[in-house]
Amino acid sequence: MQKIEHIGIAVKDISSANAIYTKLFGTPPYKTETVESEAVITSFFKSGPNKIELLQAMNDESPIAKFIEKKGEGIHHIAFAVDDIFAEINRLKSEGFIVLNETPKKGADNKLIAFLHPKSTNGVLIELCQEIAQ
Ligand code: ZN
Protein backbone atom coordinates (compact mmCIF):
# COMPACT_ATOMS: atom_id res chain seq x y z
CA MET A 1 0.00 0.00 0.00
CA GLN A 2 1.42 3.38 -0.97
CA LYS A 3 0.41 7.03 -0.79
CA ILE A 4 -3.14 8.33 -0.67
CA GLU A 5 -4.10 8.52 -4.33
CA HIS A 6 -7.22 10.60 -3.79
CA ILE A 7 -10.08 11.32 -1.41
CA GLY A 8 -13.62 10.75 -2.67
CA ILE A 9 -16.44 13.11 -1.68
CA ALA A 10 -20.10 12.26 -2.24
CA VAL A 11 -22.11 15.21 -3.55
CA LYS A 12 -25.77 15.66 -4.49
CA ASP A 13 -25.18 17.96 -7.43
CA ILE A 14 -21.84 17.77 -9.18
CA SER A 15 -22.26 21.01 -11.14
CA SER A 16 -22.69 23.13 -8.05
CA ALA A 17 -19.99 21.13 -6.23
CA ASN A 18 -17.64 21.67 -9.18
CA ALA A 19 -18.22 25.41 -8.91
CA ILE A 20 -17.46 25.35 -5.17
CA TYR A 21 -14.29 23.25 -5.51
CA THR A 22 -13.12 25.31 -8.48
CA LYS A 23 -13.27 28.34 -6.20
CA LEU A 24 -11.59 26.43 -3.38
CA PHE A 25 -8.61 25.27 -5.45
CA GLY A 26 -8.57 28.17 -7.90
CA THR A 27 -8.64 25.76 -10.81
CA PRO A 28 -11.37 23.72 -12.56
CA PRO A 29 -11.53 19.91 -12.53
CA TYR A 30 -8.90 18.34 -14.79
CA LYS A 31 -11.22 15.52 -15.66
CA THR A 32 -14.88 14.58 -15.51
CA GLU A 33 -15.93 11.03 -16.19
CA THR A 34 -18.97 8.80 -15.99
CA VAL A 35 -18.47 5.35 -14.45
CA GLU A 36 -21.42 3.26 -15.64
CA SER A 37 -20.59 0.25 -13.44
CA GLU A 38 -20.99 2.39 -10.31
CA ALA A 39 -23.66 4.68 -11.75
CA VAL A 40 -21.67 7.77 -10.84
CA ILE A 41 -20.50 10.97 -12.45
CA THR A 42 -17.09 11.95 -11.19
CA SER A 43 -14.84 14.95 -11.43
CA PHE A 44 -11.22 15.24 -10.34
CA PHE A 45 -9.35 18.20 -8.91
CA LYS A 46 -5.67 18.63 -8.19
CA SER A 47 -4.34 20.62 -5.29
CA GLY A 48 -0.57 20.38 -5.26
CA PRO A 49 0.22 16.65 -5.13
CA ASN A 50 -3.27 15.83 -3.84
CA LYS A 51 -6.34 14.73 -5.72
CA ILE A 52 -9.99 15.08 -4.80
CA GLU A 53 -12.71 13.10 -6.53
CA LEU A 54 -16.30 14.35 -6.43
CA LEU A 55 -19.00 11.72 -7.00
CA GLN A 56 -22.64 12.22 -7.88
CA ALA A 57 -25.12 9.35 -8.25
CA MET A 58 -26.69 8.80 -11.67
CA ASN A 59 -29.67 6.98 -10.17
CA ASP A 60 -31.16 5.84 -6.85
CA GLU A 61 -29.43 2.44 -7.07
CA SER A 62 -25.98 4.00 -7.12
CA PRO A 63 -23.86 3.34 -4.01
CA ILE A 64 -23.42 7.12 -3.80
CA ALA A 65 -27.19 7.68 -3.63
CA LYS A 66 -27.41 5.16 -0.80
CA PHE A 67 -24.48 6.74 1.01
CA ILE A 68 -26.00 10.24 0.83
CA GLU A 69 -29.38 8.92 1.94
CA LYS A 70 -27.78 7.40 5.06
CA LYS A 71 -25.06 9.88 5.91
CA GLY A 72 -25.55 12.98 3.80
CA GLU A 73 -22.91 14.58 1.64
CA GLY A 74 -19.30 14.29 2.70
CA ILE A 75 -16.15 12.19 2.60
CA HIS A 76 -17.04 8.87 1.03
CA HIS A 77 -13.74 7.02 0.67
CA ILE A 78 -9.97 7.25 0.87
CA ALA A 79 -8.07 5.70 -2.03
CA PHE A 80 -4.57 4.29 -1.72
CA ALA A 81 -2.31 3.61 -4.66
CA VAL A 82 -1.03 0.03 -4.96
CA ASP A 83 1.53 -1.53 -7.31
CA ASP A 84 -0.18 -4.89 -7.68
CA ILE A 85 -3.86 -4.81 -6.83
CA PHE A 86 -4.28 -8.59 -7.16
CA ALA A 87 -1.47 -9.29 -4.68
CA GLU A 88 -2.78 -6.62 -2.33
CA ILE A 89 -6.33 -8.03 -2.40
CA ASN A 90 -4.96 -11.46 -1.50
CA ARG A 91 -2.78 -10.06 1.26
CA LEU A 92 -5.64 -8.06 2.80
CA LYS A 93 -8.06 -10.97 2.55
CA SER A 94 -5.59 -13.18 4.40
CA GLU A 95 -5.34 -10.46 7.06
CA GLY A 96 -9.10 -10.69 7.56
CA PHE A 97 -10.30 -7.60 5.69
CA ILE A 98 -13.57 -7.80 3.81
CA VAL A 99 -12.89 -7.09 0.14
CA LEU A 100 -16.09 -5.89 -1.56
CA ASN A 101 -15.00 -6.90 -5.05
CA GLU A 102 -12.36 -9.57 -5.18
CA THR A 103 -11.98 -9.08 -8.91
CA PRO A 104 -10.74 -5.53 -9.45
CA LYS A 105 -12.97 -3.40 -11.66
CA LYS A 106 -12.32 -0.50 -13.96
CA GLY A 107 -12.80 2.74 -12.06
CA ALA A 108 -12.53 6.38 -13.02
CA ASP A 109 -9.26 8.04 -14.01
CA ASN A 110 -7.77 4.98 -15.71
CA LYS A 111 -7.55 2.81 -12.60
CA LEU A 112 -8.23 -0.75 -11.57
CA ILE A 113 -10.02 -0.52 -8.24
CA ALA A 114 -11.26 -2.60 -5.32
CA PHE A 115 -12.96 -1.57 -2.09
CA LEU A 116 -12.62 -2.77 1.48
CA HIS A 117 -15.83 -2.91 3.49
CA PRO A 118 -15.97 -0.18 6.15
CA LYS A 119 -17.04 -2.85 8.65
CA SER A 120 -13.48 -4.18 8.54
CA THR A 121 -11.75 -0.76 8.59
CA ASN A 122 -13.33 1.13 11.49
CA GLY A 123 -16.04 2.75 9.43
CA VAL A 124 -13.91 4.02 6.55
CA LEU A 125 -14.45 2.85 2.99
CA ILE A 126 -10.96 2.18 1.59
CA GLU A 127 -10.31 2.03 -2.14
CA LEU A 128 -7.26 0.35 -3.60
CA CYS A 129 -6.28 1.65 -6.99
CA GLN A 130 -3.69 0.69 -9.52
CA GLU A 131 -2.93 2.78 -12.56
CA ILE A 132 -3.68 0.87 -15.76
CA ALA A 133 -0.60 0.88 -17.99
CA GLN A 134 -1.38 2.75 -21.21
ZN1 ZN B 1 -12.16 6.96 -5.72
User: Considering Cα of 67, then 40, then 80, then 75, what sign does the dihedral take?
Assistant: negative
Cα 96 to ligand 1 centroid, rounded to whole Å:
22
Cα 95 to ligand 1 centroid, rounded to whole Å:
23
Cα 121 to ligand 1 centroid, rounded to whole Å:
16
Contact partners, residue 81, CB within 8 Å, separation at least 6: 1, 2, 3, 4, 5, 129, 130, 131
Cα 107 to ligand 1 centroid, rounded to whole Å:
8
Please answer whether residues 109 and 127 qualify as being in contact, where contact means their C-beta atoms are separated by less than 8 angstroms. no
Residues, Cβ < 5 Å to ion ligand 1 = 8, 53, 79, 127
Per-residue pLDDT 10s for the chain (134 aa) are 899 999 999 999 999 999 999 999 999 999 999 988 889 999 999 999 999 999 999 999 999 999 999 999 999 999 999 999 999 999 999 999 999 999 999 888 889 999 999 999 999 999 999 999 87
